[in-house]
Structure formats: structure tokens, C-alpha cells
Amino acid sequence: MTQRRPRLGVMGGTFDPVHHGHLVAASEVAARFELDEVVFVPTGQPTFKQDQTVTVAEHRYLMTVIATASNPRFTVSRVDVDRPGLTYTVDTLRDLKEQRPDADLYFITGADAIEQILTWKDAEELFAMAHFVAVTRPGHALSVEGLPTDRVSILEVPALAISSTDVRARAGAGQPVWYLVPDGVVQYIAKHRLYRGQS
């Protein structure tokens, strides 16, 4: 009997901070596609967020570690945080493929990200490197026109109207962020006084 190749989910994001929308998306895709592991990959310098202030990578990385620690199938990779320069998914996938040559990669994105994917660096190469799973996000009608249908899947996930932008604004305004992000992340934000004055 031939053994099936391991399936590795890849959840890339700026995670400023990581929230329950990210975690539900990863969990749902893992269940639907029978993934053996989902590796969360915080960006180093996100290329599409150069016009905004992004929290230092080490804080975003540590919050992602805290948020995923309790799930034995979730891990966190430093490949993007440790690579100098802007973060591009083509490099993320290349590095992960080198580390895990035996695995099939499933890159998980939200609706807003997949709709821009043709503008990403080396877009045509990406679909050969991974299968893309776009989760539908509340309030966002999904269009995958022009994308290779055999390499892109759409998955509806339970609506979680959470964004990092909203969490930062709430934390900045002194409003609660309990239950929008994992408890450890609430405490990390308070301990390091993140997002103060950002409302």
C-alpha cells in the first residue's frame, strides 16, 4: 500500500495581532482537507502594508506562538521573520518546501488576500508550489476569476467578524479584546502595552 504524502497547511499573515478568525480558518481548513499540521508564518515586512505602522516582528511572532500553543497540530515558523527584506509568499513556500520536501502544501488565505493574489510576486509560480484554500470572510463576496480552478478551493467558515485592525483599535481605545483573541494574547498585549494610542 502506498503511503499518502503528509499535508502541510500554511497560514501566512501579519498577525498584528493573531485573532480567533485566523485560528478558526486554520482549524476549518485542516479538518476539511485532512491536514496533518498547519504552520502559521508571521510576515517579516509585509509588502502590502508598507504604508502603515506594523508592530515589530518578534512581538507578532510571540503572540502567534502563544495563540497556537494548545493545538498539537498548529506550529509557527520563523522563515519570514528571519529573512531580511520584504516578505513574499514565493519565498515562504520555497523555504518550507526545502524544509519539508515530502509534504504537499496548502496555503490558507482569506477572501481579501486571494482576490489580490495575481498581483503577488511571481504569482504564476505560486500555484505550482501549493494548493490555495480561500476561506470566505464575513462581509466579503469572493471572486476567484482568472485563478486556476484545480489549484484554488473556496471554503466557507463560520462567520467571525474579527480583524486585526479592529483589535488594534479596540486595544488602543482601552476597550476589551477578550474573546476576540486568545486569553494569552490579551495578556501579552497588556503586558507589552501594544497598540496604545492607535485607536
Ligand X SMILES: O=C(O)c1ccc[n+]([C@@H]2O[C@H](COP(=O)([O-])O)[C@@H](O)[C@H]2O)c1
Q: Which residues in this chain contact ligand ATP in the complex, by CB under 6 A? A: 13-16, 21-22, 25, 109-110, 112-113, 135, 137, 160, 162-165
Work out what residue 169 binds among ligand ATP, ligand X, none; the CB cut-off runs from 5 to 8 Å by kind.
Answer: none
Contact flag: residue 47 with ligand X (CB under 6 A): yes
With H, G, I as helix, E, B as strand and everything else as coil, classify residue 176: coil
Taking CB under 6 A as the rule, does residue 43 contact ligand X?
yes
Contact between 48 and ligand X by CB under 6 A: the answer reads yes
- Round to whole Å and give the CA distance between 178 and 157: 21
Q: Is 33 in the site for ligand X (CB under 6 A)?
A: no
Distance CA 17, CA 84 (A): 21
Whole-number Å distance between alpha carbons of 120 and 167: 26
User: Taking CB under 6 A as the rule, which mask of x and - marks residues 140-179 in contact with ligand X?
Assistant: ----------------------------------------
Would you mind telling me the total number of residues written for the chain in this entry?
199
Task: Give the one entry of ligand X, ligand ATP, none that residue 25 binds, where binding means its C-beta sits below a cut-off of 5 to 8 angstroms depending on kind.
Answer: ligand ATP
76 phi/psi in degrees, rounded to 5: -130, 135
Residue 160 CA: distances (Å) to CA of 22, 42, 138, 154, 179:
9, 20, 6, 16, 11
164 binds, among ligand X, ligand ATP, none (CB under 5 to 8 A by kind): ligand ATP
Determine which residue in the list 87, 114, 130, 180 makes contact with ligand X, applying CB under 6 A.
87
Check if the beta carbon of residue 104 is closer than 8 Å to that of residue 6.
yes
Residues that bind ligand X (CB under 6 A): 12-14, 43, 46-49, 87-90, 113, 120-121
